[in-house]
Amino acid sequence: MGHIYVVGTADTKGEELAFLAERIRAAGGAPLVVDVGIRAPTIVPDIPAPAIPPTEDRGTAVTAMAAALAAWLPTRRDLDAVVGIGGGGGTAIVTAAMRALPFGVPKLMVSTLASGDVGPYVGVSDITMMHPVADMAGLNRITRTVLAQAAAAVTAMARTPAATTTKPAVGLTMFGVTTPCVTRVADALRADRDPLVFHATGTGGRALEMLAGSGMLEGFVDATTTEVADEIVGGVLTAGPDRLGVLARTGLPWVGAPGALDMVNFWAPETVPARFAGRLFHRHNANITLMRTTPDECRRIAGFIAAKLNAATGPVRLLIPERGVSALDVAGGPFHDPAASAALFDTLEAEIAATPDRRVERLPLHINDPAFADALVAAYRSITEG
């Protein structure tokens, strides 16, 4: 084993950091205590806090410390795992650095914020958040128990080798309404590829493209580009304006489809913004409300996708399922809208600049027809295997 980095503010959490390090050592790990406090530490850390510009403003100091740690921690070649402890400031500092570490490096954050919305701290990384129940303001029966368990957990994580395979990894995107398609694609690829399926809920798309940018993926079968609809129209499951931007930066081969672009996602009905009153909705479940995209929205969505695909530096194949893009978009279904579909398909075909390496193909199939999944697989193999 290398070292388990034990990170926190030694000016306010010195006693807890020392206890955590001692428990890691007792479990057979090799801890290094890293101070990220902005004042004098109450213990002697193994690695002192980095120098940051002096300031009286705590928020500015926390931001500077987070940036310094995020730049430094990924350079450590002896790092097997990292465990952090903190409240609001400490959590912001340590998780910023954890997010800069590669996937697979164990990352455990013991934080008083772990019982709330941890999205801003975790992002799309593989950080594990652990709630300490009591505030870490000294050692007691609760904090000793939690920190001892954290020590045992991170030591075991550091000892566990990452799963490996010689198969190239392929990123797939899926929604409930495209599951039959993507499941069949994954099954067809599994013999010689490692299919990684991402739920297209905003976080999924960002995670997919983060891994692609890290060099982990061979390419994409991006059948469910629905996150673009949320970005353009104002839904809650957007992956942000950089969705598909990784294609220009990496040149990875991409095969995709306009899966679930017939819908925009909102939470429960009462959360839908008033500006959408009178639109066509479908209640997916008690917490998810779907709204049918209009022809004008479909044209804007298609324009966004076309611009991203035109900027791609690798091979691109977009397959259009003319008989429907989701389980709801089928003859007699709640989201069947030929005018909206025509606006989407025609704009994609018109605005994507065709080249030998960038092609659009329309198929007289529904996205969940087995033949459409087979066509996606065939297209992927054609651009990755020649």
Quick check: 124 pLDDT over 70?
Answer: yes
In this prediction, residues 368-384 reach a mean pLDDT of 98
Domains, the chain: 3-159 (3.40.50.12020), 169-385 (3.40.50.12030)
Residue 270, CA distances (Å) to 1, 276, 290, 292 in order? 52, 12, 12, 17
Pairs from 352-355 (Cβ < 8 Å, separation ≥ 24) = 352/305, 352/306, 352/309, 352/310, 352/318, 353/310
DSSP secondary-structure letter at 268? S
Q: What's the CA gap between 254 and 225, in Å, rounded?
A: 12
Helix, strand, or coil (residue 89): helix
Q: Can you give the pTM of this predicted structure?
A: 0.91
* 291-333 tens-digit pLDDT: 999 999 999 999 999 999 999 999 999 999 999 999 999 999 9
* 259-300 tens-digit pLDDT: 999 999 999 999 999 999 999 999 999 999 999 999 999 999
